[in-house]
Amino acid sequence: MSFPKILPNCTLAGTLTLKQDAMVSNLRSPNSIGNTKFEGVDGSVKYTIGSPGDTTTDYAWTSAANTTEQQLDLGPIIPAKARIADVWFLCDVSAAGGITDLSVDIGNAAGGDQLVAAGSVETAAENIQAAVNSAGIVAISLIDSNVFVNGTPTGANWSTLINWKGTIYISYTDYAKLD
């Protein structure tokens, strides 16, 4: 069987038989191309945050009789040599207890907003996210990087915040795994 010419001096010849299922499977999760392995390059993590005293979440705000900003240090969750691709925060359960606004920002330093600028997330389905850009959100670090979620309530003290829950999602490309 002969195929038509696609480019000058190039001819395709032979038979190509692919099962559709195998082709789709290989497209979804290629393990390698030649000798180059791609397993485990991309990473995603998620953590839940709750009202003061919430033991069903990964982290919880501290009960306090004030509206001072609090910082939750999620620890060194971005590996060395990784580029952060996306950061997204979603309010899962609305705040109760007099809080009229819960402003959250996300950074790689306590109190910082290097990853996501401040936004309101006191009502279910409200969300904030990083601005998308092709260069990544922050420069690649040669050491593991911490992530901080910073929050400030309005309308009532931290000690009155009940029932609220949120989730932070972070995706990154871990170039160290290619070494």
Residues 38-77: tens digit of each pLDDT: 445 688 999 999 999 999 999 999 999 999 999 999 999 9
pLDDT for the residue 139: 79
All domains in the chain, ordered by first residue: 41-178 (2.60.120.220)
Strands (E) in 25-164, as ranges, are 32-33, 36-37, 42-50, 59-60, 70-73, 82-93, 101-107, 116-120, 127-129, 148-154
pLDDT in tens, 150-169: 999 999 999 999 999 999 99
What secondary structure does DSSP assign to 21-61, as a single string?
Answer: HHHHHHHHS--EETTEE-TT-EEEEEEEEESTT--SSSEEP
Which pTM value belongs to this model? 0.75
Distance linking the first and last C-alpha atoms of the chain:
44
Distances 175 to 40, 59, 91, 166, 168 between C-alpha atoms, Å: 10, 28, 31, 29, 22
> How far is 109 from 112, CA to CA, in rounded Å?
5
> How far is 58 from 125, CA to CA, in rounded Å?
19
pLDDT in tens, 92-133: 999 999 999 999 999 999 999 999 999 999 999 999 998 655
Instruction: Look at the block and give the residue holding tokens 């795994």.
Output: 177
> Model confidence at 178, in pLDDT bands (50, 70, 90)?
confident
Sheet holding 82-93, edge to edge: 59-60, 42-50, 165-174, 82-93, 127-129
pLDDT in tens, 144-154: 999 999 999 99
**Mean pLDDT value of segment 10-27:** 37
